């Protein structure tokens, strides 16, 4: 039961992170930013990685089995625009609408 609840919570967090990320991508397209492999060029210039548990880092772990994963919690990570730990906490909290 608890496992189910935890995975639901994680799914929601992943959705929230990807929704926020999708908005940033749409904005970059709207500005006419250059893209590489579906993401804004700028994101690759100083790469930042985020997981659904609210960790952001410029570093990540590489796992043969699971690909690139979070340094703090080993969850899946995504390349994101520059963001601080405080800002990602805001994004991941349910208190604020994603804008
Ligand atoms: Zn993490």
Tell me the C-alpha distance between 31 and 63, whole Å: 35
**For 3-26, how does the pLDDT look when each residue is reduced to its tens digit (9 = 90+)?**
556 677 888 999 999 999 999 999
**For 21-49, how does the pLDDT look when each residue is reduced to its tens digit (9 = 90+)?**
999 999 999 999 999 999 999 999 999 99
Q: How far is the CA of 51 from the centre of ligand 1 (A)?
A: 5
> What ranges make up the beta strands (E) of 1-99?
35-36, 39-40, 48-51, 56-57, 61-63, 67-69, 77-80
* Cα 55 to the center of its chain, rounded Å: 9
42 burial (CB, 10 Å; 0-12 / 13-18 / 19+) is middle
The pTM of the full predicted model, rounded to 2 decimals, is: 0.84
Q: How far is the CA of 31 from the centre of ligand 1 (A)?
A: 30
């Amino acid at each position: 039961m608890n496992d189910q609840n935890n995975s639901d919570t994680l799914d929601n967090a992943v959705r929230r992170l990807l929704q926020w990320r999708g908005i940033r991508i749409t904005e970059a397209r709207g500005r006419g930013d250059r893209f590489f492999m579906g993401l804004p060029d700028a994101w690759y210039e100083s790469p930042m990685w985020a997981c659904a548990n609210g960790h952001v880092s410029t570093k990540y772990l590489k796992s043969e089995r699971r690909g690139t994963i979070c340094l703090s919690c080993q969850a899946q990570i995504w390349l994101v625009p520059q963001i601080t730990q405080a800002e990602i906490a805001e994004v991941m909290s349910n208190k604020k609408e994603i804008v």
